[in-house]
Structure 1
Amino acid sequence: MDFYQVNLAILVVANMSSFIYHHRSQNHKQRRRGIPQDEQSETAATKFQREFLFVYALVVAADWLQGPYTYAIYKYEKKLEEHTVALLYASGFVSGAASAPFAGQLADHYGRRAACVAYCICYGITCLTMLSRNLYALYLGRFFGGIATTLLFSVFEAWMITEYHLLQLDESRVSLSQVFANMTTTSTITAIFSGIIGNGLVQCFDARLGPFLASLVCCIGAGVLILVMWRENYGSVDKSKKTPGVQKLKRRMLGALTNPKVMALNFASCCFEGSMYLFVFFWSAALKRVRVKSGNQDELPFGIIFSSFMCSMMAGSRITAIQDQLYSKDSTLNTLMFVFAITSGAFAISTMLDHEYMLFWAFCVVEGCVGAYFPKMALMKSNIVDDYARGGVYSALRLPLNVFVVVVHSLDRDGKNNSAWPV
């Protein structure tokens, strides 16, 4: 096996070991506590998590399936100019930024389950527009894709948190922190299998449209399951009794967003997740540049490298799950501070590395920190943001993030020979 295959094998074994340790630790803790006092609550908690994660796997699969092939279809099958491709990508982020201020508010008022179904519809439209060669249809697809991304990272989490509290699962063995960690793990496992399935569909049908049709199937399946298995919840318990005016909704949102803690979360998430999106754009170019500089002209095994990154991300999420068993919930902030410091160090070191393997390891550290970040940040947001405005605040947090990515990405230039990164 070559270097990348060995590293992937090591990461797979490490993740399997962490799963086994976590499972045995849970069983040991259960035996020490004896029979749970409320078996009905434990059954409800397990059923709730299983049903939510199954639907969540489908919705993130719809996203992961088409991601690796969007650029290739625009560039090589639609024969679009590079400038046009860049505008299509930018239009998606602009759409996400434009929809961020109000998408979550509408979800809080008209129902989060309805907003989750809206995600499936919007992403389904995005998939269908890829069948067209009309440029306006492609822009329409990016428009709906931007809205769908905003909904994906706001309303599903908002629905889950509210439903968790409505079912009164706080005292069950399935903690909210554990659900967040399992969401990250589910996303990474789905990403790995989506890459395999997508590649198989491309080879089977000899066309890059196969993953988009599979993504459409995932959207339809998720939408049906949401309507069948989920119940509706809102941002206000008195929604069904009285419809608040526009001004009242604005005051609620403004009050929530100007909360100093929410503003700090907004700044932190914008910086970290914005850097993560830029990393997604540039990691392949950085590794390729270092390889070429060393005199090696062979193609990088991008599929194996991507799988290694996903395994690193999964390892980060599993570490946080194990940490929650050993330490108190007060460690959330300290964990995030540690993650920010390690990620900053890994990025700084990566700009100075000229060795391909060392750069790959630095990137694995970054992905591991991403895996640790998401469940901890999700837990902190669930504790700080009030439920009546959760969907609105969560989607509004996407506004500065989308603006940050569009602005910074528009300023990138080819780096000099002494740097692996575009600058």
Structure 2
Amino acid sequence: MLVVVYSSLFLLALLGLATYFKLRVVKDESATNPTYTHFALRTYLPLYLCVVLGDWLQGPYLYRLYHWHGFMETQVAVIYVSGMVSSALIFPAKDIIANRYGRRTTIVAFCFLYVLSCLATAVPNYGVLLVGRCLSGLSNTIVFSGLESWYVHEHTQRFDFPSEWIPVTFGHVAFGSSVAAIVAGVLADVFARWLSFGPVSPFIVACPVLLVAGASIAASWEENCGEKQTVSLKQFRKAAFEGLKTIVQNVQIFLIGTVQSLFESVVFVFVFLWTPALDVYHDLPLGIAFASFMTCFLVGSLVCDYLIAKNRFPPTQMLVVVTSSATVVFLVAAYFASNKTAPLYRLRMLICLQLFELLCGLYFPILRTLRESEVPQEVQLSTVNWFRVPLTLFSSLALLSLQGATGGPPEIFLFCAAGMLLATAASASLAYLLSRKSSTENSSIIP
């Protein structure tokens, strides 16, 4: 199986390179201004990717780490859920915190808090690990939101670059993040497996990476803030009400949010599930398997960006294909997971998991396109806040109710398949409504 995992990463890496050079989409060829290039690609991008690398290093061995400390399946599930809940709770306040204290200051502070969460993984105490996971959820949400909002402010306010160049930067960010995830998977195996430092070592290695990123940001970036006025509870309730009103009155936005909640909650469950489903005998190079998943994600995102840029298929039709395919993948995975002693079990499971990551790479650009075209900019944040509630509930319910004595990977895979089936129904309804809307608009302009 070791040969299979390493070979799959090698072949997928070749596929990723071929896809990149063949299908790469240049979003704006005019974004060649030397000042822009220096700021976006030499000042912002390297430090962003440094933070990303510190974050991704924690992915491959997270599940095995808790078992290494001697905790049971249900206890591990509670730790996972605590991280998701803390992230969901802080999400509505992330912009308020950044505007209050400054985006650069907030990024640096939570980079150091992220380091504390990594150090907590070395302590074999359940309470400490639980607190560390909560800190990780808070830090992840605040840091990456702050990094994006800091750049947008500098791009538009300080340098006055065209707003059309923002997608160019974030296109580089998305590609670089995928590459950083692949590198992180390999590095995690170098320290945890090849050098035999154990599953806690990738978290310790992430500490200096995050420290360097935080210190460099503090030293080289300018401070910026959003609107500095204090946001009252009344204003917060008003924004939440406007978001809810928009969801209720607009069926398309409701369906987009429904697909997002269902699909991304399954992604959260997948992050927990892939290790116990694949690493049956605790002998796999989890970092290499993780790197192969991220390579599949990169290939999917490159293909999807190409299809969207060429306008080959409507995004809603692509979304139906992605969600229905994910349903089939999870049904097949549930069937395989019900018999772990079958020949070639782990090879089949690896292929299923890689296919789902490929679908994830397709999904995120599609949803971003639909959200930008259908959801008004002024209510995007408040609507996303509302849909994070069912997202967190769905994934938490799956992990807490099905993991441990009452179930395991087969039952959770079936739960994921059910969620994807509902997402398929919602995406099919969205495709039907938007096609009717488009045909109505076209007929109204015919003389």
TM class by smaller structure: 0.7 to 0.9
Q: Render the CA deviation track for 1:53-103: whole Å, top value 9, x for unaligned.
A: 3233222222221233344443334x4455544433332223223323333
CA distance in 1, matches of 2:75, 2:367: 35
CA distance in 1, matches of 2:253, 2:78: 32
2:175 paired residue among 185, 191, 195: 185
CA distance in 1, matches of 2:282, 2:231: 62
Whether 2:40 is the aligned partner of 1:48: answer yes
1:64 paired residue among 48, 56, 73: 56
Map 1:130-145 → 2, pairs under 5 A? 130-145=121-136
Whether 2:242 is the aligned partner of 1:255: answer yes
Verify the 8 A CA contact 2:273 2:409 in the aligned structure 1. no
Give the letter for the 1:21 counterpart.
K
* % identity of equivalent residues: 25
Give the letter for the 2:82 counterpart.
S
Match of 2:361, SS? helix
Residues 1:39 and 1:59: Cα distance change in structure 2 (over 3 Å)? closer
Residue 391 of structure 2 corresponds to: 401
Residue 17 of structure 1 corresponds to: 18
Verify the 8 A CA contact 1:415 1:422 in the aligned structure 2. no
Match of 2:326, SS? helix
| Cα deviation, residue 48, structure 1 | 1.5
CA distance in 2, matches of 1:62, 1:418: 32
Whether 2:329 is the aligned partner of 1:346: answer yes
Residue 303 of structure 2 corresponds to: 319
Q: Render the CA deviation track for 1:285-305: whole Å, top value 9, x for unaligned.
A: 44467xxxxxxx895554443
Give the letter for the 2:243 counterpart.
A
Verify the 8 A CA contact 1:18 1:318 in the aligned structure 2. yes
Residues 1:254 and 1:308: Cα distance change in structure 2 (over 3 Å)? same
| Cα deviation, residue 384, structure 1 | 5.9
Residue 292 of structure 1 corresponds to: none
Match of 1:66, SS? coil
Match of 1:243, SS? coil
Match of 2:290, SS? helix
Whether 2:162 is the aligned partner of 1:169: answer yes
Residues 1:231 and 1:143: Cα distance change in structure 2 (over 3 Å)? same
Size of the aligned set, in residue pairs, is: 398
- Identify unmatched segments of 5+ residues in structure 1: 31-35, 290-296
Give the letter for the 2:298 counterpart.
M
Map 1:336-415 → 2, pairs under 5 A? 336-352=319-335, 356=345, 357-381=347-371, 397-412=387-402
CA distance in 2, matches of 1:220, 1:63: 12
| Cα deviation, residue 193, structure 1 | 1.4
| Cα deviation, residue 165, structure 1 | 4.5
Q: Render the CA deviation track for 1:224-277: whole Å, top value 9, x for unaligned.
A: 333344445555xxx24x434331233124323542265444322221111112
| Cα deviation, residue 198, structure 1 | 2.3
- When the two chains are superposed, the root-mean-square deviation of aligned CA atoms in Å is 3.8
Whether 2:134 is the aligned partner of 1:151: answer no
Match of 1:259, SS? helix
- TM-score when normalising by structure 1: 0.77
2:260 paired residue among 253, 269, 287: 269
| Cα deviation, residue 189, structure 1 | 1.7
Stretch of structure 1 that moved more, 224-233 or 269-278: 224-233
CA distance in 1, matches of 2:143, 2:132: 16
| Cα deviation, residue 126, structure 1 | 0.6
- Which structure has the higher relative contact order (CA within 8 Å, separation 6+)? 1
Give the letter for the 2:120 counterpart.
T
Stretch of structure 1 that moved more, 309-318 or 107-116: 107-116
